[in-house]
Amino acid sequence: MDSLRGKLLIAGANLFDPNFRRSILLIADHDDQGAVGVVLNRPAGVSVREAAPDLGDLVGPDEQLFVGGPVQPQAPVVMAEFEDPAQASLLAFGAVGFLTGQDPRTVGGLRRARVFAGYAGWGPGQLDQAMEQDSWLTEPAVPEVVFTPEPGRLWASILRRKGRDFQLMATLPFDPSSN
């Protein structure tokens, strides 16, 4: 098993699970015990200030809350780019990581942050099995993608960047039966 930590998972065209259809995930951790990450391109339609007022100062005044995944959707998950990566509780790649088990308001040196409702998780071997079924494509994560100002366009833009073989997939309608 090769660890997918710090990789983006790009939902393949054959992935119809409503939790992950056309999603882009950042994998924060992946080992023989399982995997955990967050969906990057699902704004919740509510601001962080409205949903989690205590975390509003970590992000801009109108920053959206994101749906991080189907696991514990009522729990806030904070992802940030750190000036000092050692401040992250769980480092995904470079200076991007997560705050877990600590009050994010007490951590200094955040370049930028996003708040998610819940996260995506897989038990031992589950993500590896999904990868064998070609449910996901992978791409190295970079901060500009993780903190994109246009999350609604992320799935298609990453597929287009992957090259000609994936450009057609980027144009598929969300519901192929409506084609």
- The full length of the chain comes to 179
> 84-91, long-range: CB within 8 Å, 24+ apart, which pairs?
84/109, 90/28, 90/29
Residues with Cβ within 8 Å of 112's Cβ and at least 6 positions away in sequence, in order, are 59, 80, 81, 147
Is the pTM higher than 0.75? yes
Residues with Cβ within 8 Å of 125's Cβ and at least 6 positions away in sequence, in order, are none
pLDDT in tens, the chain (179 residues): 689 999 999 998 888 899 999 999 999 999 999 999 999 999 999 999 999 998 998 898 889 999 999 999 999 999 999 999 999 999 999 999 999 877 777 788 899 999 999 999 999 999 999 999 888 999 999 999 999 999 999 999 998 888 877 765 655 655 555 55
> What is the maximal distance between C-alpha atoms in the chain?
50
CA-to-CA distance for 49 and 55, rounded, in angstroms?
Answer: 7
pLDDT score recorded for residue 179: 52
The sign one gets for the Cα dihedral 8, 14, 19, 22 is: positive
CA-to-CA distance for 74 and 119, rounded, in angstroms?
Answer: 10
Q: Which domains does the chain have, with CATH numbers?
A: 7-178 (3.40.1740.10)
Between strands 110-122 and 64-67, the pairing is parallel
